[in-house]
C-alpha cells in the first residue's frame, strides 16, 4: 500500500503531458524489446538460405518473420514518436532501458542466449535507473511552433554537434565498417547511435508539429516540418541498415545494452545542446544515467 501511495505521488508530481509521454514510452519499450528477438530469428532464418545481413546481404527483406519483427518495431517507434510530442527527449529516451530487459529475457528464453546472474542484476539496475530518471527529469521547454524548433536546431552549437556527428558517422561507414564491422561491435552500433541522436531531435520536432496541428495550429504549411521529415527518414533507414548488421553478427544480449547506452548518451547530449537544459535536475539526471549505463555495459556482456 505504501509503495502504491508513493507511486501515486510520483505521478501526481508530473505534468499530464509527461504522464502521457511516460505511458507511451513504456508501451514503446515493450514492442521494441520484442522486435529485437523476432527480427533476430528472421535474420537467422534468412541467412540460412541466402546472403547474411552481416556481410551485406538483404535476403531478410523476403523473410516474413523479419517483417513481423519490423512491424513490432514500427508500432513501438510510433508510440515512441507520440511520446516525444508530450514529454522531453531527456525523459523519453532513457526509458528505452526497459526494452533491454524485455530483449534480454526473451533472448534467454527464445534464442537460447544465456543470461548470467550479472545480466539479471543489470536488468534490475535498468528499472531503478529509469525510475530515478522519471522522477528527476527536468520540465520541458514550451514550444509554440515548428519554426521555433528549427531556430534551435540551426543555432551554432547544435550545428557544430550535428556536423561532428555526421563526420564521425561518415568516417565509420567509409573506413571502419569494411575493415572492422564483422569483429568490432562498436562500429555498427556507433553508426546507429550517432545517426540516432539526430533522428530523435527530428522526431521530437515532428511530434511537436503534429501535436500543434491537431490542436488547431497547422504546422504542415511550414517547410521546416518537411525538412525534419526528410531527416527522420534518412536517419531511420541508416539506423535500420546497421542495426540489422549488428544483430546478424553479434549476440542480441550484447547489442541491446550497448546500443541503448550509446544511443541514450548521445541523445542526452543532443537534447542538452539543442534545448539548453541546465540546472540541478540535469546534473542529477546525468549522474544517474552515467552510473546506470556504466554498470549495464559491463554486466550484460
Confidence of residue 130 (pLDDT cuts 50, 70, 90): low
Confidence of residue 278 (pLDDT cuts 50, 70, 90): low
Q: Among the listed ranges 105-109, 113-117, 263-267, which one has the minimum average pLDDT value? A: 113-117
Helices (H), 137-251: 146-153, 156-171, 177-180, 185-214, 223-249
Position 159 pLDDT exceeds 90 = yes
Position 294 pLDDT exceeds 70 = no
User: Which cell is 65 given?
Assistant: 518473420
Chain center to CA of 215:
27
Determine contact, residues 80/25, Cβ cutoff 8 Å: yes
**Among candidates 121, 104, 136, which has minimal Cα distance to 295?**
121
The predicted pLDDT at position 255 comes to 80
More confident residue, 132 or 68: 68
Q: How many CB atoms lie within 10 A of CB 58?
A: 13
Q: How many helices (H) and strands (E) does the chain have?
A: 13, 0
| Mean confidence (pLDDT) of the chain | 77
The predicted pLDDT at position 132 comes to 66
Helices (H), 50-63: none
How wide is the angle at C-alpha 146 spanned by C-alphas 144 and 151, nearest 5°? 95
Distance of alpha carbon 223 from alpha carbon 231, whole angstroms: 13
Position 42 pLDDT exceeds 50 = yes
Position 65 pLDDT exceeds 70 = yes
Position 202 pLDDT exceeds 70 = yes
**Among candidates 189, 199, 213, which has minimal Cα distance to 84?**
199
C-alpha distance from residue 113 to each of 55, 185, 259 (Å): 22, 17, 17
Distance of alpha carbon 36 from alpha carbon 88, whole angstroms: 25
Find all residues with CB under 8 Å of 150, minimum gap 6, and list them.
205, 222, 224, 227, 228
Q: How many CB atoms lie within 10 A of CB 194?
A: 24
The predicted pLDDT at position 281 comes to 47
User: Which cell is 138 given?
Assistant: 527536468
Distance of alpha carbon 278 from alpha carbon 273, whole angstroms: 10
User: Which cell is 248 given?
Assistant: 546478424
User: Which cell is 15 given?
Assistant: 505534468
Query: Torsion angle of alpha carbons 83, 85, 91, 93, nearest 10°?
Result: 60
Confidence of residue 145 (pLDDT cuts 50, 70, 90): confident
Find all residues with CB under 8 Å of 223, minimum gap 6, and list them.
none
**Highest mean pLDDT (candidates 205-219, 226-240, 245-259):** 226-240
Amino acid at each position: 500500500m505504501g509503495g502504491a501511495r508513493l507511486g501515486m505521488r510520483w505521478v501526481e508530481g508530473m505534468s499530464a503531458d509527461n504522464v502521457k509521454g511516460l505511458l507511451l514510452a513504456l508501451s514503446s519499450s515493450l514492442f521494441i524489446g520484442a522486435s529485437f528477438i523476432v527480427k533476430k530469428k528472421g535474420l537467422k532464418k534468412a541467412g540460412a538460405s541466402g546472403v547474411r545481413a552481416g556481410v551485406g546481404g538483404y535476403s531478410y527483406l523476403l523473410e516474413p518473420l523479419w517483417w513481423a519483427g519490423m512491424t513490432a518495431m514500427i508500432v513501438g517507434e510510433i508510440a515512441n514518436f507520440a511520446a516525444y510530442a508530450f514529454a522531453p527527449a531527456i525523459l523519453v529516451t532513457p526509458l528505452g532501458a526497459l526494452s533491454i530487459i524485455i530483449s534480454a529475457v526473451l533472448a534467454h528464453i527464445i534464442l537460447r542466449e544465456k543470461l548470467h546472474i550479472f545480466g539479471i542484476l543489470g536488468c534490475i539496475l535498468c528499472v531503478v535507473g529509469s525510475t530515478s530518471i522519471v522522477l528527476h527529469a527536468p520540465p520541458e521547454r514550451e514550444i509554440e511552433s515548428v519554426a521555433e524548433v528549427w531556430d534551435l536546431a540551426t543555432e551554432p552549437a547544435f550545428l557544430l554537434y550535428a556536423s561532428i556527428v555526421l563526420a564521425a558517422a561518415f568516417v565509420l561507414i567509409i573506413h571502419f565498417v569494411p575493415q572492422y564491422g564483422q569483429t568490432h561491435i562498436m562500429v555498427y552500433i556507433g553508426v546507429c547511435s550517432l545517426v540516432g541522436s539526430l533522428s530523435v531531435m527530428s522526431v521530437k520536432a515532428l511530434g511537436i508539429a503534429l501535436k500543434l496541428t491537431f490542436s488547431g495550429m497547422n504546422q504542415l504549411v511550414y517547410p521546416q516540418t518537411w525538412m525534419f521529415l526528410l531527416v527522420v527518414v534518412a536517419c531511420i533507414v541508416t539506423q535500420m541498415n546497421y542495426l540489422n548488421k549488428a544483430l546478424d553478427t553479434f549476440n542480441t544480449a550484447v547489442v541491446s545494452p550497448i546500443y541503448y547506452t550509446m544511443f541514450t548518451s548521445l541523445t542526452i547530449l543532443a537534447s542538452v545542446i539543442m534545448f539548453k537544459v541546465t540546472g540541478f535536475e540535469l546534473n542529477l539526471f546525468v549522474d544517474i544515467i552515467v552510473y546506470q549505463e556504466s554498470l549495464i555495459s559491463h554486466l550484460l556482456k
